[in-house]
A = this chain, B = another copy of it.
Amino acid sequence: MTKPPVIDPRRTLTLRDVSEASGVSEMTVSRVLRNRGDVSDSTRERVLEAARALGYVPNKIAGALASQRVNLVGVIIPSLSNMVFPEVLTGISDMLEDTGLQPVVGVTNYSPEREEAVIYEMLSWRPSGMIVAGLEHTEASRAMLAQAGIPIVEIMDIDGEAVDSAVGISHRRAGRQMAEAIIAAGYRRIAFCGTMMPYDHRARKRLEGFEEALRKAGLELADREFYSGGSALLKGREMTETVLKRTPDVDFLYYSNDMIGAGGLLYCLDKGIDVPGKIGLAGFNGVELLDGLPRRLATMDACRLEIGRRAAEIIAGKHEGVIGGEVIELTPTLQPGDTIRR
């Protein structure tokens, strides 16, 4: 028995509906809607009218399958609650704006397994390219990316080996530079406060570079304190208090990000501690938030917008010549602010 042909009034429309409504073939409708090939003005007119009247929305799934072309770019980042990744996203969107490409975001929460799953999921939509934060991935993730046959750009970091292209800064060098500036300013009892997430490789590399520079100057960290979760601003306060109580002679606090740095700054100001006289402070990232604080925290711009832009450019193929495997190192600038002695 054949099923009764259910004429669903809300059946989703297809090209055929538009084609019937406008009296031309599906192919012509397709051409009109994509602005492809030659279509006479009168026909185009008629088709557009019909499509609008019906409220037709093309089915990209079918289109993508037929054309083997997908206008999506997968963007995989560890977190959205950080303010740094949204800014990278802004750079990406800006640059992708009129390329017909569209970013699709996946979040990993700093978990390599989650990242692997997200990459798999993304790739199964056959995007035109992938932008992935960081250089550290599971073996399987790297393999999938390498096999995908699309441009891959790893962003934020360049201290390591990229699957394909990479755009970022050297966090080791950033840590080193900050240490050198701090030492040059005369601080000697230097402590570190930062995230303890084992998978925040970039914070780890900054600390490595930082300690390396300290050693070179015959110094070592006077103290260190780690946190995870919670309000970063509050954690910054708390960690600062902890360190200052535990190691009262500390004269500088290096924070792994601006948010906890800001917390530390507010704490010091609250307590009436002389900043940067008695204690110097520095963070990392150059977040906009700092502009509103009572004093400008020393920090280092991570070139987030620029990273997003450059990565998107590579995906969009806007760069001349080179086909892949580019590594673009951007150079962050140290902003001494008002929390390092001069």
- Interface of A with B (CB < 8 Å)? 4, 7, 9-10, 12, 55, 57-62, 64-65, 70, 80-81, 83, 86-87, 89-90, 93, 102, 104-105, 107, 120-121, 123-126, 143-144, 146-149, 230-237, 262-263, 266, 270, 288-294
Q: How far is the CA of A233 from the CA of B292 in the complex (A)?
A: 5
Q: Closest approach, in angstroms, between the C-beta of A246 and any C-beta of chain B?
A: 20
A-B contact list, 17 entries, CB within 8 Å = A9-B147, A12-B148, A55-B143, A58-B124, A59-B126, A61-B64, A61-B126, A62-B65, A80-B86, A104-B105, A231-B290, A232-B292, A233-B288, A233-B289, A234-B292, A266-B293, A270-B294
Give the dominant DSSP class at A's interface.
helix
Q: Are B292 and A147 in contact (CB under 8 A)?
A: no
Q: How far is the CA of A124 from the CA of B57 in the complex (A)?
A: 6
Q: Are A291 and B107 in contact (CB under 8 A)?
A: no
Q: How far is the CA of A54 from the CA of B226 in the complex (A)?
A: 42
Q: Are B231 and A288 in contact (CB under 8 A)?
A: yes
| A10 contacts across to B, CB distance below 8 A | 147, 149
| A59 contacts across to B, CB distance below 8 A | 124, 126
- Besides A4-B143, A12-B149, 11 more A-B contacts (Cβ < 8 Å) are A4-B147, A57-B123, A59-B124, A59-B126, A61-B64, A80-B86, A104-B105, A231-B288, A232-B292, A233-B288, A270-B294
Q: Are B231 and A9 in contact (CB under 8 A)?
A: no
Q: Are A86 and B90 in contact (CB under 8 A)?
A: no
CB within 8 Å for A234 and B291 given contacts A62-B65, A65-B62, A86-B81 = yes
10 closest A-B pairs (Cβ-Cβ)?
A: A233-B292, A234-B292, A4-B143, A231-B291, A80-B86, A234-B291, A60-B124, A231-B288, A263-B292, A57-B123
Closest B residue to A235 using CB positions? B292
Q: Are B62 and A4 in contact (CB under 8 A)?
A: no
Q: How far is the CA of A102 from the CA of B105 in the complex (A)?
A: 11
Closest B residue to A121 using CB positions? B102
| A83 contacts across to B, CB distance below 8 A | 81, 83
